[in-house]
Amino acid sequence: MTASSVLIVSDDPDFARTLTARWQSERHVPEIALVTSGVWHPASATSYDLVIIGPVRNGNPAAILAAVSASPRTAAIFFAEEEKNIAQLHAEHPHLLVVPRQDGWAGTLILVSIEALRRVEAIRRAQRAEGMALASQAHATLGRYMLEMRPGVNDALTSVLGNADLLLLEPGQAAGESREQIQTIHTMALRLNEIMQRFSSLAAEMRAGEKESQDETEAGFHRLVMRS
């Protein structure tokens, strides 16, 4: 699993320093980057798993919150210094997590951040699993297509090999460079035929394995019924 990445945006050095120091006491410490609101760039939101917005200059983080909201795949936490603004923040930014300033705020913020990163990782795993499932489905479709086309391919290869053999057995039909080209066609057709034979063997092994697994399942079910 790759290390999680966290971006802390704040113009308050004490906030960033306290939060970073508190995180060092945890078992798993993410990669942490610190920027001020003056250095912050909207594109930064997509480069991190979590963005934490702390106190910023003039107390107006509207531009930062707008950029974070435009990147729903990035978790975002806002450190609210005034609780009266929390309801409005939730209404304007539904996916934003808000932690108010109160006693023990650093510990609370770390706990919320850890949970947010867990959710990000869970979503990431689900997306990987979905991608693997789609790839497996595509491979299965390709396999079924190859099974369906195998008889036609074998017939075509048989025809190519047969005609190449006839031309090679009759020296008068081809000579020089043409004969070498026919020999190449014959050799490549033999190679393709070998590949198709291997594919046929693999398909037979897969069917045998599926049947054996099915038989074992049915036998186990039968034993369970007999015991009950």
Mean pLDDT of the chain: 78
Q: Report the CATH number at residue 118.
A: 3.40.50.300
Per-residue pLDDT of 169-186, as tens digits, reads 776 666 677 878 888 888
Range of the domain at 170: 131-208
Q: Are 53 and 99 in contact (CB under 8 A)?
A: no
Cα distances from 140 to residues 113, 195, 203, 210, 224, in angstroms, run 40, 18, 12, 15, 33
Of 61, 93, 127, the residue at which a domain comes to its end is 127
**Domain-embedded: residue 34:** yes
Average pLDDT of the residues in 158-168: 82
Q: 160 and 84, same structural domain?
A: no
pLDDT in tens, 73-127: 788 888 877 777 777 777 777 778 888 888 888 888 888 888 888 888 888 888 8
pLDDT of residue 1: 47
Residue 211 has pLDDT above 70, yes or no: no
The Cα 93–Cα 66 span in angstroms is 8
Q: Could you say which of 93, 127, 161 is where a domain stops?
A: 127
- Answer yes or no: do 20 and 121 share one domain: yes
- pTM strictly above 0.75: no
Tokens encoding 207: 């069917």
* Residue 177 covered by a domain: yes
Alpha carbon 84 to its chain's center: 40
In a domain, 97, yes or no: yes
DSSP string, 110-176: HHHHHHHHHHHHHHHHHHHHHHHHHHHHHHHHHHHHHHHHHHHHHHHHHHHHHHHHHHHH-GGG--T
Q: How far apart are CA 110 and CA 104, in angstroms?
A: 10
Residues 123 and 12 in one domain: yes
* Rounded Cα distance, 17 and 14, in Å: 5
For residue 216, tell me if it sits in a domain. no
Contacts of 37 (CB under 8 A, 6+ apart): 9, 10, 11, 56, 57, 61, 64
